[in-house]
Amino acid sequence: MYVRALSLLDFRSWERAELELPPGRTTFLGSNGNGKTNLVEAIGYLSTLGSHRVSADAPLIRMGAQRARIGATVVNTGRELRIDMELNQGTANKAQINRSPVRRPREILGILHTVLFAPEDLSLVRGDPSERRRFLDELATARLPRLAGVRADYDKVLRQRSALLKTAGRNARSSSRGTELSTLDVWDGHLAAHGAVLLAQRLRLVHELYPHLAQAYGSIAPESRPASIAYRSGYLPMEFQDPARSPQPDDEEQLEAILLRELGNARQKELERGVCLIGPHRDDLELMLGSAPAKGFASHGESWSFALALRLGAFELLRTAGTDPVLILDDVFAELDRRRRTALAAVAATAEQVLITAAVPEDVPPELDANPLRVETTGEADRRTSRVSEACGTIGGDHSHAGEDVADG
């Protein structure tokens, strides 16, 4: 799989961009603030419908514009598909497949698979559980695109149920109490049904990711303690949570029954606190080095190694389906020592397409032999635009269109 063409309109710093990209390895070179990360961020957005840098879409729209557009032509086993996204200020986003509108943007999920490694990935190890839940859910959705709808339904039910818990908790002596509690029973059923599907996919993913993660970490940091992962939940039986010891739990009916039982047991506490205490929105992916949790105990180098191993494990897991995802390496080589650079370069050398951003050519391992493109900002201080041009000649492919019609102004 590879992205053959990328087009941007009013996305981040790009007023306009049209790029032709080959398979193989391409490096976008430029100092910070020139827009190189914005290019790969746009590609990542088409893969996940989210940015690896911000949680909302508004910052992705160029200042002064009402909407942004991202388009890409994706080649997979010889077949081309065009996907387009329109990000709007204050109204719903829109999507197209082969220039035909689709009902929901999430219908484009599964067309383009990417694995993106960036400095922000250190939060996978050191950050909040929400970062690790997002990692699991995005990877699970890449493998099963219909899970995006399940996640949306779960989030909607969670919001509705949480609002009802607050209301019922305040109205403990009200005449409407009985109606509110019976309505809560209905929302319990919806939460358990959607939550069970999400849980089953997360547990399956952790079981299948575990050996890839362990192998990747061992190759990056062979002198370190072995790395492992486990799913952590306060309501699931422990035998479901450790992929090294237990069979893969994928019985959605069993998981739904567990959720319903635990929601009932926690009802009084939830009413007192006005929050939903049971469900996959409270869970975590535990990262272990030997017998100690990586968070709080791993050194800076070990944390980087674990974050990199998670991404490399995800890459290997996705490619078991028969197609390489696009590997995106956003300004990471400068953060890595020689061993980690070498390990990452070894994987990158086998991928069908690798897109790299770097400040200077020396940041990129020479064995990658990547085609360099220069990204720079031009224009007056109040009208700055980014443009791409060939840098240092062309290596490994024809990029005669790479610098044409890139920036307006």
223-251 pLDDT per residue, tens: 889 999 999 999 988 878 877 665 566 68
The residue ranges of DSSP E strands in 22-63, in sequence order, are 24-29
Q: How far apart are CA 75 and CA 352, in angstroms?
A: 11
Q: Is 31 annotated as a binding residue?
A: yes
Q: What average pLDDT score do residues 283-298 get?
A: 94
Answer whether 45's CB lies under 8 Å from 109's CB: no
Phi-psi map region of 401: left, alpha, beta (phi>0 left; psi -120 to 50 alpha): alpha
Q: Is 30 annotated as a binding residue?
A: yes
The closest of 202, 197, 119, 141 to 325, measured between CA atoms, is 141
The closest of 340, 200, 210, 344 to 287, measured between CA atoms, is 210
Residue 404 has pLDDT above 60, yes or no: no
DSSP state of 225: P
pLDDT of residue 246: 58
Q: Which class for 131: exposed (0-12), middle (13-18), buried (19 or more C-beta within 10 A)?
A: middle
Residue percentage of the chain with pLDDT more than 70: 88
Q: Is 279 annotated as a binding residue?
A: no
pLDDT of residue 247: 59
Answer whether 83's CB lies under 8 Å from 108's CB: yes
pTM, to two decimals:
0.88
146-197 pLDDT per residue, tens: 999 999 999 999 999 999 998 887 776 665 666 778 889 999 999 999 999 9
Q: What average pLDDT score do residues 339-353 get?
A: 88
199-232 pLDDT per residue, tens: 999 999 999 999 999 999 998 888 889 999 999 9
253-275 pLDDT per residue, tens: 999 999 999 999 999 999 999 99
41-81 pLDDT per residue, tens: 999 999 999 999 998 999 999 999 999 999 999 999 889 99
Q: Is 371 annotated as a binding residue?
A: no
Q: How far apart are CA 371 and CA 12, in angstroms?
A: 24
Q: Is 32 annotated as a binding residue?
A: yes
**CB-side neighbour CA atoms (13 Å) of 349:** 12
What are the φ/ψ torsions at residue 326 (nearest 5 degrees)?
-70, 125
CA angle 403, 405, 409 (to 5 degrees): 105
State the chain's mean pLDDT as an integer.
88
Cα-based torsion angle of the residue sequence 337, 338, 339, 345 in order, rounded to the nearest 10 degrees: 110
The closest of 351, 389, 291 to 36, measured between CA atoms, is 389
Domain boundaries, the chain: 1-113+325-409, 124-322
Q: Write down the CATH number for the domain with range 1-113+325-409.
A: 3.40.50.300
Q: Is 37 annotated as a binding residue?
A: yes
pLDDT of residue 383: 47
Residue 335 has pLDDT above 90, yes or no: no
Q: Write down the CATH number for the domain with range 124-322.
A: 1.20.1050.90
Q: How far apart are CA 149 and CA 104, in angstroms?
A: 10
